[in-house]
Amino acid sequence: MGFFAFALIVLLGNRWVINSTDSYIYDNTGLLPENRVGIVLGTSPYTRGGGRSRDFHGRIEAAVKLYEAGKIRHIIVSGANPDATYNEPRRMWQELVKAGVPQDALTMDFAGFRTFDSVARAKRVFGLERFTLVTQKYHTYRAVFLARKMNVPAVAYIADGTQNRHPVREVFARVKAILDLFVLRTEPRFVGEREPLPGSEEEGGEEILT
């Protein structure tokens, strides 16, 4: 009986996350609403076997595409930075600069240890009231769910990558997101001081960076 109850909770949790966010997820740049800031969620540039990660490069290509189309004008690269040998934001920053995105249009968030942290910090540290998330489809549902339950009307753009794979861990990660928000009242691992982005009202610019 316990197993079936658990399975039902996982099923219903996933349906809630997916059904409540599907209309805010886009694969067409023409239909995607414009937001001043896009957030590229971190992932390793390599597969477990040491090869080139399709997810990593898909997110980079998507961010460049949105920037060049004027759908976003500033990009936060948010990911893990546990030690000197592994730095997701730095690698994303390097690839975006290599692709032609100006350095002053980029901000690195080194405390995006997981999706919850990246989304929470976007609001609490960078002061964003709305933004566009860039990641693969299977990940967009959870990312948008977290943002919208934090009262941020985020949208997401689907990057190329492992679109046909739906990692089992993501099924449970969605349930964990619900627990973090409504049961555990989780806080980001590191918040720190407010860091207004270039051009934001807080930084003294003429334009409100949202």
- pLDDT lower than 70: segments of the chain: 1, 163-166, 201-210
Per-residue pLDDT reduced to its tens digit, 2-15 = 889 999 999 999 99
Assigned token pair, 98: 């290599």
* pLDDT in the model for residue 10: 97
Look up the CATH number of domain 2-182.
3.40.50.620
* pLDDT in the model for residue 202: 64
Assigned token pair, 99: 């692709």
* pLDDT in the model for residue 162: 74
21: left (phi over 0), alpha (psi -120 to 50) or beta: alpha
Cβ neighbourhood burial of 161 (10 Å; 0-12, 13-18, 19+): buried
Q: How far apart (Å, rounded) are the C-alpha atoms in residues 74 and 38?
A: 6
* pLDDT in the model for residue 166: 67
Please give the model's pTM, rounded to 2 decimal places.
0.93
